[in-house]
Structure 1
Amino acid sequence: MLSDADRDIIRLANDPLFPRWLEQIRAIGGCAHPIYLSGSTVTRDALTGELISSYSTAGEPGERLAVRCRNRRASVCEPCSYLHAGDTYQLIRAGLSGGKNVPGAVRNQPRLFVTLTAPSFGSVHRFLDGERCRPRRDGGECEHGRPVGCGLVHAENDTALGRPLCADCYDHVAHVLWHAHAGRLWDRFTTAVRRHLASAAGIPRSKLRDHLVVSFAKVAEYQKRAAIHFHGVVRLDGPAGPGDPSPDWATAQLLTDAVHTAAQSANVRVPGSDAYGTELLAFGTQLAVRPIWSFADDEGPTDDAVAAYVAKYVSKGTAETGAGLDYRVTSLDDIHAAVVTSHVGALMATCWRLGGLPELERLRLRSWAHTLGYRGHILTKSRRYSTTYTALREERAEYRRGDTDPTDSPAVVTDSNWRYVGSGYTAGAALVAAGIAEDHVMSRQLAREAIEDEGRGWEL
């Protein structure tokens, strides 16, 4: 007996426009949640009004065109997340090595790879590569009657990692409030870096831009304990931007000192309340600051390694890291029904409880309970760091058109009229799209293996 999906596939295959529909889905790489548009584009000569080109969805299957959903999360749409990760790699790398309209001289500027962490909100189980988690010679228990230490040697994939030794001792409120203010903390950090540089040079903070520009790019990542930490690139440029050498006094060592000072001093004060006791939020004591090298070196990561590292994390969803959900919750019942650890569930419930307080209404904690209160973008950058996602997408579109699109010419006028008409797949169409996505994954894997084989042959 045929399933609904099988019958739907037969229906699709018997449609005269099935080849064109298949061509559309292949063009978007088997996107898991395509968006459908209906409309037309007409391009004419600006002087004569002569028709140069035109396109309409009137002849397309269902009179609509499928476009990518562009979701960055691999758990939501793997094909689009792959493209997003690739764009992120190019965006970060361009700010380190040049390219994409960024001068190659940028690699000569002082550059650091910085990791900023959240403070401790309570003891959690941890992986120490063969060592005991939290050994306590004298044992001991907390006020709730639970051990204050752990003598186990956890495996790297142990589900206990990141969970509190005592859930009642753990400061869930501080954890949530820290997430809600993490974006402001980063802003205070970047401001403090600039202030330290200006002070070291003996110039007013307001005049620093006349001497140098500090550029940043950062990605947010959830740790095992479900706390956000930031990986960031910090670069010094001259006043004219990436291609302009920074002043002689703006050295990598001075930048390192500025980062250390800023990480220790940046803080956000939260007004006190009877419902919580946290008033001052700051970064944790764990700080990593490493110079970025253009070529392989034992002292620090390379341009390519940093770009690849950032790209790897930008496509990970909250649910994929085990630190929340990829969809919003609308009630406590949704939180209780969510398939998450007890630690994450407690943080989500704390968001919901604090979100009901009038003094915290501005933080919209209930709307962001699925991300444990964090409401910032996964990746952000300063304006002059490098290119943009939009520019990268336009470049890719031009490449696919063969760079023959006439719409870039000032001598033409383009009239476009588009509207949203739907999204997603039927049951059979979803299976076909999934097969196309798998083919793309296999093709990339074969390409990587071919490159690796070629490299081994060269070594021999």
Structure 2
Amino acid sequence: MAARDMAARYNRADFRAWARRAHSTGGCAQPVHLRGRVTHLDPQTAEILRHYSTAQEPGGTLRVACKTRRASRCPACAETYRADTYQLVRAGLVGGKGVPDTVSTHPAAFVTLTAPSFGPVHSRRTGKAGGVVACRPRRDGGTCPHGRPVSCTIRHGDDDPRLGQPICPDCFDYAGAVLWNAHAPELWRRFALAFRRYVARSAGLRVSDLRDVLTVSFAKVAEYQRRGLVHFHAVIRLDGPGGPDAQPPAWATLDLLKAAVDHSVGAVTVSSPAAGDVPALTHAWGSQVDVRPITTTGELTDTAVAGYIAKYATKAAECVGTLDRRIRPTDELTDLPVSGHARRLIAECLRLGALEEFAGLRLAEWAHMLGFRGHFSTKSRRYSTTLGALRQARIQHNQHQHDEPTTGRIPFDDDQVLVVAHWRYLGQGMTPGEALLTAALTGKPMPALTTDERSFACPSSC
């Protein structure tokens, strides 16, 4: 069927125009379909300076890139987001994009904060020699209270579907895991506050006076572990009072940065109330904390850190085996194409989300994200440039690369023109045949179009 659809699109008279539009969207896999018009008028004479209508487009619709960050939804747009995030993070380490190159002399570290354990899971472990060792060997063997073995002597491969799955699902604390994900953003906020308090106290200052001599800048990303828990990777940098433009005081060292992280991890907690059969819980960071200095040479360079953070900025919870869309009221949980572990996490989100005590956490709305509702990529105001600035620079660059007839630009300032526009949203996506043609034309990979995803695709009549 996809081949027939592809042939039908290829043989249409407007194929060349359609192909040009596919290139202009960068090979977007989920383009947004719009119908409408834009008219530019001279405000003094009401003369029509330029008029555009989607009636001249293939199918009478304009396709624009979806601009999603998720690689599972649109690899092409996610690659643009990844590249922008890479430039943003790297600029905060070595300069560029409006950041002075002297920032590379400021103390900076790559910090990883993890979740605690909610039950043993299958994992791929390596020994001192670098070889893969048994997952969870137990000399005495034995079984858990539910009659399942507590030992696993398998040497798991990288693609083993059992990785991240509980040794015993009935022993795993699903309520605790879901609530920890939900409180992780607040836990990070309190960590950042405790970090600044520790630095201020170490310098003999009040927290309110710290900003006069030092600025704490950061860029972080959230990553899902296969067990379904989020953890954070962050670049933390110490600047002077003016941000990256000013040198930090001499006492602001890497040792102080590491000590502040170690103190803050153990100093902050978040509580959740008792509800139903769930007791009151205190949520804290896990014991695995990693703080490594970032250098221009060596194992952990600015390039490696920026690439690592940018990679995870385009991912969600797909490694856990869950969905990359919201759970609908009409969805049957048993029919969802998810792993057994993800299914139980989703079910726990839906169950706890129905309790009044957890209404503010919006667990049912974020069940597909296993309770986590925070932003995947965030930064402090003075860390470096912004994604918006990078996008605007790219737009201006593209405009200068093309002449006026190609882009439809008008030869005068926008504030001297009256713009009258009307747009209507028609749908999003493309047919299987269009997806194959777009991949062939642009060389961009396309996500697998499952039966579940086809329901979101814009009909061919769009």
TM-score range, shorter chain: 0.7 to 0.9
Aligned partner letter, 2:315: K
| 3-state SS of 2:211 partner | helix
Alpha carbons 2:9, 2:434 under 8 Å: kept: no
* Range with bigger deviation, 325-334 or 385-394: 325-334
- Residue 175 of structure 1 is matched in structure 2 by 177
The answer on 1:77 being equivalent to 2:74 is yes
Question: CA offset at residue 125 of structure 1?
Answer: 1.5
1:61 to 50, 58, 67: 58
RMSD after superposition: 2.6
| Deviation sequence 1:355-406 (CA, Å, 0-9, x none) | 1111111111111111111111111111221222221111111111117867
- Residue 267 of structure 2 is matched in structure 1 by 265
Distance verdict in 2 for CA 1:398–1:282, change over 3 Å:
same
Distance verdict in 2 for CA 1:198–1:20, change over 3 Å:
same
Matches within 5 A, 1:148-163: 148-163=150-165
- Residue 31 of structure 1 is matched in structure 2 by 28
Alpha carbons 2:37, 2:423 under 8 Å: kept: no
- Residue 297 of structure 1 is matched in structure 2 by 298
Aligned partner letter, 1:237: D
- Residue 190 of structure 1 is matched in structure 2 by 192
Counterpart-to-counterpart distance in 2, 1:6 and 1:143: 57
| 3-state SS of 1:114 partner | strand
- Residue 425 of structure 1 is matched in structure 2 by 430
Counterpart-to-counterpart distance in 1, 2:8 and 2:143: 65
Counterpart-to-counterpart distance in 2, 1:291 and 1:11: 54
Question: CA offset at residue 36 of structure 1?
Answer: 2.4
The answer on 1:139 being equivalent to 2:141 is yes
Alpha carbons 2:200, 2:210 under 8 Å: kept: yes
* Range with bigger deviation, 122-131 or 322-331: 322-331
Counterpart-to-counterpart distance in 2, 1:127 and 1:428: 40
Counterpart-to-counterpart distance in 2, 1:246 and 1:155: 46
Aligned partner letter, 1:369: A
Counterpart-to-counterpart distance in 1, 2:304 and 2:110: 11
Matches within 5 A, 1:37-116: 37-41=34-38, 55-116=52-113
Aligned partner letter, 2:254: A
Aligned partner letter, 1:372: L
Aligned partner letter, 2:83: G
Alpha carbons 1:218, 1:380 under 8 Å: kept: yes
The answer on 1:314 being equivalent to 2:316 is no
- Residue 205 of structure 2 is matched in structure 1 by 203
Question: CA offset at residue 56 of structure 1?
Answer: 4.2
Matches within 5 A, 1:351-362: 351-362=349-360
2:18 to 17, 21, 44: 21
| Deviation sequence 1:398-440 (CA, Å, 0-9, x none) | 1111178679958644625242332322454333223224x24
* Range with bigger deviation, 215-224 or 50-59: 50-59
Aligned partner letter, 1:307: A
Counterpart-to-counterpart distance in 2, 1:191 and 1:407: 50
- Residue 456 of structure 2 is matched in structure 1 by none
| 3-state SS of 2:123 partner | coil
Counterpart-to-counterpart distance in 1, 2:155 and 2:24: 49
Distance verdict in 2 for CA 1:11–1:95, change over 3 Å:
closer
Question: CA offset at residue 194 of structure 1?
Answer: 0.5
Structure 2 unmatched runs, 5+:
127-131, 404-408, 447-462
1:283 to 285, 300, 314: 285
Question: CA offset at residue 52 of structure 1?
Answer: 6.8
- Residue 250 of structure 1 is matched in structure 2 by 252
* Range with bigger deviation, 260-269 or 136-145: 136-145
Distance verdict in 2 for CA 1:34–1:366, change over 3 Å:
same
Question: CA offset at residue 335 of structure 1?
Answer: 2.2
Q: How many residues align?
A: 434
Distance verdict in 2 for CA 1:151–1:58, change over 3 Å:
closer
| Deviation sequence 1:158-210 (CA, Å, 0-9, x none) | 22221111111111110000000010011011111111011111111112111
Aligned partner letter, 1:96: L
| 3-state SS of 1:328 partner | coil
Counterpart-to-counterpart distance in 1, 2:411 and 2:378: 30
- Residue 223 of structure 2 is matched in structure 1 by 221
Aligned partner letter, 2:295: W
Question: CA offset at residue 47 of structure 1?
Answer: 8.7
Alpha carbons 1:87, 1:392 under 8 Å: kept: yes
Question: CA offset at residue 38 of structure 1?
Answer: 3.5
Question: CA offset at residue 120 of structure 1?
Answer: 0.5
> Normalising by the residue count of structure 1, what TM-score does the alignment of the two structures yield?
0.87
Alpha carbons 1:406, 1:412 under 8 Å: kept: no
| Deviation sequence 1:110-162 (CA, Å, 0-9, x none) | 11100000000011111112222222222222222222222332223222221
Give the fraction of aligned pairs with identical amino acids, expressed as a percent. Answer: 46
Question: CA offset at residue 339 of structure 1?
Answer: 2.1
| 3-state SS of 2:223 partner | strand
| Deviation sequence 1:248-293 (CA, Å, 0-9, x none) | 1111111111011111112101122342124210010000100111
Distance verdict in 2 for CA 1:425–1:243, change over 3 Å:
same
Aligned partner letter, 1:21: W
Alpha carbons 1:217, 1:233 under 8 Å: kept: yes
Distance verdict in 2 for CA 1:345–1:426, change over 3 Å:
closer
Aligned partner letter, 2:163: L
Distance verdict in 2 for CA 1:314–1:418, change over 3 Å:
farther
Question: CA offset at residue 49 of structure 1?
Answer: 8.3
- Residue 446 of structure 1 is matched in structure 2 by none
Distance verdict in 2 for CA 1:202–1:393, change over 3 Å:
same
Counterpart-to-counterpart distance in 1, 2:359 and 2:87: 38
Alpha carbons 2:326, 2:366 under 8 Å: kept: yes
| Deviation sequence 1:292-323 (CA, Å, 0-9, x none) | 112x224xx1111011111111222322x134
Alpha carbons 1:222, 1:323 under 8 Å: kept: no
Aligned partner letter, 2:271: R
Alpha carbons 1:407, 1:414 under 8 Å: kept: no
Question: CA offset at residue 46 of structure 1?
Answer: 8.3
Alpha carbons 2:115, 2:229 under 8 Å: kept: yes
